Amino acid sequence: MTVQVAQVKIEEVNFDQDLFIDVRSPGEFAEFRLPNAINVPLFSNEERAQVGTVFKRNSREEAIELGLALYAPKMEYFYKRIKDLQTEMPNRRIVVYCFRGGLRSRTIAGTIGLLGVDCVQLEGGIRSFRKYIQEGLEQEAQIQREYLVLSGHTGTRKTEILNQLQNKGYPVIDLENLAGHRGSIFGYIGVQPNSQKQFDYLLLKRLKQLEQSPYVIIEGESKRLGRVILPDFLLEGKQIGERLELHYPFWARVEHVYQTYDPIKYKGEIQEGIDKITKYLSYELKEEMKVLLDREDYKGVFAKLLEGYYDPRYAHKFSSYKSQATELEFETLDEGVEKVITYIEHYKTMIKK
C-alpha cells in the first residue's frame, strides 16, 4: 500500500493557522525556519553530515540506503510525536517541509500519512520560502515611504526609546532586535544573533505589518549588524530620511553601556571584543585600557572606549549623512521618550502636507 503525498505551494500556506513540521537537522532549523515551525528532525546534525559525505564520495543510492537505515528505528517516534501535535492542535493543517521539498519531507509525510495522520508536503521546501521572502523585499524596496531616523552616539538609549515607541503603537522597525545584535563590537553579548535569512523574514513581516503607515522609524545603523547586512533600500532611507539626533550625558551613557553588557557576567566576551579592536587604538589608549582592565574598572574601560574609539568613529559617520538633523537633549529615558514623541507628532503633520 502506498500513499500519495499532497503538496502545497508557499503561496497557499497560512502562516498563522498551519502547523509547520520542519524535518531538517537542528542546525538547519536554528539558522532559518518557517514561522512557529516545530523541529522534528529526520537526522541529527552528525547523521546529516554522514549521509552527505556518503552521497558525495560514493553514490546517491548508498546515501539513500544509509538514510533509511538511520530513519527506520525512529519511525515510531515520528508517528507518536506528530500524532501528539495533531491531537494538541486538531484544527491546524500539518505542513511538512525540508530543504527543497525532496526525500526527507516526502518520507515523513508518506509514513505518517500511511498511518492515518493527514498532512501535506511543502513544494520546494524552505527554499520556496526563501524565494518568497526575497521577492517580498524586492517589492518593499519599490514602495515610497518616509523615514524618521533616530541617531546618536553609542549609549544614548536609542534602542530603549524605540522599544517604548513601538509599545505605544508607533511604526518602529527595530533592526537590532530583528538581527539579534546591538551593532557594536560587543553587540552579540547576551542576545541570540539571527542569520541573514531569518532577519530578512522578520524584516519582511514587520514591513507588512506597517504597510498602511506613510512613514517608519528606524535607528541610524551601519550597513552590518553582526552577521546581518541591511538591504540597500533601508540604507538609502537612512541617508535621506528626517533625522533626530539624540544627546544623552556622557557618564549616563557609560552607565548604560555598563548595565547593558554586564562585564561581571560577560568578562571573557568583553575582553574578546576589546582584543578585536586593539589594532585601531592609539598606543596611549591601549596602555590606559590595560591598566583599567587589570583593575577591573569596567566603567573606566567603557568611558575610554567611548571617548577614544566610538565617539570619533561616530563623528566621521555623522558627517556622511545627506540630511540635516534636529538635535534633542535629554537627561532621563522618560524625558527622552516624551521629547521624541512630541517631535514625531509634529513630524506627522509635516509629511501630511
Confidence check: pLDDT of 66 > 70: yes
User: For the segment 201-240, what is each residue's pLDDT rounded down to a tens digit?
Assistant: 999 999 999 999 999 999 987 889 988 999 999 999 998 8
Average pLDDT over residues 69-90: 91
Section 191-204 average pLDDT: 93
Q: Name the superfamily (CATH) of residues 7-132.
A: Rhodanese-like domain (3.40.250.10)
* Res. 320: pLDDT tops 80: no
H runs (alpha helix) in 262-323? 267-277, 283-294, 298-305, 311-318
The architecture that CATH gives domain 144-352 is 3-Layer(aba) Sandwich (3.40)
pLDDT(259) > 90? yes
Maximum distance among all Cα pairs of the chain, rounded to whole angstroms: 78
- DSSP per residue over 70-117, as a string? HHGGGHHHHHHHHHHHHHHSTTS-EEEE-SSSSHHHHHHHHHHHHTT-
Predicted confidence at residue 3, as pLDDT, reads 60
Euclidean distance between CA atoms 113 and 101, whole angstroms: 16
What confidence category does residue 290 fall into, taking pLDDT thresholds of 50, 70 and 90?
very high
Q: What is the pLDDT of residues 113-127, one digit of tens each?
A: 888 888 999 999 999
Distance (Å, whole) CA 182 – CA 131: 27
Residue 200 reports pLDDT greater than 80: yes
Inform me whether the pLDDT recorded for 1 exceeds 60: no
Q: What percent of the chain has pLDDT over 90?
A: 74
- Residue 315 has a pLDDT of 83
**Per this entry, what is the length of the chain?**
353
- The answer to whether residues 313 and 187 touch, using CB atoms and an 8 Å cutoff, is no
Where is pLDDT greater, at 101 or 295?
295
Assess whether pLDDT exceeds 90 at residue 187: no
pLDDT of 4: 74
Please say if the pLDDT value at position 2 is more than 80: no
Q: Pick the catalytic residue from 5, 19, 54, 98.
A: 98
Question: Does pLDDT of 84 surpass 80?
Answer: yes
Phi, psi of 310 (to 5 degrees): -70, -45
Label residue 269 by pLDDT band (50, 70, 90): very high
pLDDT confidence tier of residue 256, bands split at 50, 70 and 90 = very high
Place of cell 541573514: 196
pLDDT digits (tens, 9 = 90+) for 170-186: 999 999 999 999 888 88
Residue 166 has pLDDT above 90, yes or no: yes
Tell me the whole-structure pTM to 2 decimals: 0.88
Mean confidence (pLDDT) of the chain:
92
318: confidence class by pLDDT, cuts 50, 70, 90: low
pLDDT at 71 over 60: yes
User: Does 119 participate in catalysis according to the annotation?
Assistant: no
Q: Give the residue extent of every domain in the chain.
A: 7-132, 144-352
More confident residue, 294 or 351: 294
Strand order in the sheet with 325-329: 215-219, 146-152, 242-247, 325-329
| Selection from 87, 94, 81 nearest residue 20 by Cα | 94
